[in-house]
Amino acid sequence: MAKRNNLLILILTIGVFGILNTEMGIVGILPLIADHFHISISKAGLLVSLFALAVAISGPTMPLLFSSINRKKVMLLVLGVFVLGNIVSIFASNFTILLIARVIPAFLHPVYVSIALTAAAASVSKEEAPKATSKVFMGVTGGMILGAPVSSFIANTTSLEMAFVFFTIVNAIAFIAILLFVPSMPVEERLSYGSQLSVLKKPITWLSIAAVIFINAAMYGVSSYLAEYLETITNIPGKTISLMLFIFGGASIIGNIVAGKLLTKNAIISVASFPFVLGAVYILLFLIGQFTVPMALIVLIFGIVVAIGNNISQYWITSAAPEAPEFSNGLFLASGNLGVTTGTSVGGLVISGMGTQYVVLGGFLFLILSLVFILMRNYKYSPINQFSR
């Protein structure tokens, strides 16, 4: 029984990894896509921002709509659509086709992630559920960590099309594994739409959503253009950019460990301090980003801080609505991706209007906004009663 559950969780995690890999892997090849289709880097950034917007729109709604359908069938549907989207991307003859092939699967992204978390928790005892869901979250982290550097490495050493082949293979492996090894998973018990939606009546939920949107806008409005920054400001070649992105991704492992300790020790202070820490990183990026060796150290620190920000975002929303964990995870996905959309759009505008080096200005703007909403929640809800309101 334990082996079967472990296999199930592993397969669910591979699927989450494949989906997040498709979402974030594109970041590592944006400059190559811009060159390939003869478009600006800000237009290529639509591949990140519109994908994230689709997730933001569907995050609170699509998991609810699919909540009564056999989970195995839904997961196969989602992964099948991702495989097809990536196959179309390989052969895309123009940028519009590539954009459509990415945005359509994005609407189903939150469905798989929320089902994977729910199915993992349901496969073990109530006491073991947090451990099971944390393993699935490793797929999220893995996709975010490895997606950009691996796609960048593949595209720079072979071709742009081969990066999309990589995305296709990972999703296809998860599809086949679910088809062959995951039993039928009919839904036996579900929360009513009303009970889940009721968390939206609480002001703390909306303060948390706003903070998370701006935190993610601040992080991804800059990090989405990291490959472009390394190419145009630091002036390093493609293969070295891949190495830098690996450093950025590898640092996320450290960031996840640090975040767990910080949020356990003193969550409120950790969240309130975050905008100041990321702001300091952006000052360094702006001042010494043109130097290769200092830039490697900045990229390492940046990767750690972004991973902490992801953990903080998830905690900030789920702690505001603990009575509806699945729906609050949907809100977390929606808010985070709305932030990615906002950040990458503004970052692209800043790069087009002022130059790549000034992309950090958009990051600063969103950090200030995030701090406002973090402090508003902290002022209105003390640590003692914030979970009960």
Taking each continuous run of H as one helix and of E as one strand, the counts in the chain are: 17, 0
User: What is the maximum alpha-carbon separation in the chain?
Assistant: 59
Note the pLDDT of residue 261. 78
Q: Which residues, 6+ apart, have CB-to-CB distance to 290 below 8 Å? A: 233, 234, 235
Alpha-carbon distance 127 to 130, whole Å? Answer: 7
Alpha-carbon distance 153 to 339, whole Å? Answer: 27
Q: Show the tokens assigned to 294.
A: 């200092």
Note the pLDDT of residue 234. 85
Q: How many residues does the structure list for the chain?
A: 389
The beta-strand segments (E) located in 41-109 are none
Per-residue pLDDT of the chain (389 residues; tens, 9 = 90+): 667 778 888 899 899 988 988 888 888 788 889 999 999 988 998 998 888 888 888 888 887 788 778 889 999 999 999 999 999 999 999 999 999 999 999 999 988 988 887 777 777 776 566 567 667 777 777 787 677 778 888 988 898 899 999 999 999 999 999 999 888 888 776 667 777 778 888 899 899 999 999 999 999 999 888 888 888 888 888 778 878 888 887 787 788 778 877 877 788 898 999 999 999 999 999 998 888 888 899 999 999 999 889 888 888 887 888 777 667 878 888 898 889 889 988 998 998 889 888 888 999 999 999 999 999 998 887 655 444 44
Buried b (16+ CB within 10 A) or exposed e, 79-118: bbbbbebbbbbbebeebeebbebbbebbbbbbbbbbbbbb
Alpha-carbon distance 20 to 9, whole Å? Answer: 16
Return phi, psi of residue 70, to 5°.
Answer: -45, 125
Buried b (16+ CB within 10 A) or exposed e, 281-299: bbebbbeebeeeeebbebb
Per-residue DSSP letter, 324: -
Nearest Cα neighbor of 132 from 9, 315, 17 is 9
Note the pLDDT of residue 141. 72
Q: Any idea which residue has 């100041």 for tokens?
A: 276
Note the pLDDT of residue 127. 58
Note the pLDDT of residue 329. 76
Let me know: does 313 contact 336? Beta carbons within 8 Å.
Answer: yes
Q: Is 253 exposed, middle or buried (CB count within 10 Å of its CB: 0-12, 13-18, 19+)?
A: middle
Let me know: does 226 contact 27? Beta carbons within 8 Å.
Answer: yes
Note the pLDDT of residue 76. 95
Alpha-carbon distance 161 to 174, whole Å? Answer: 21
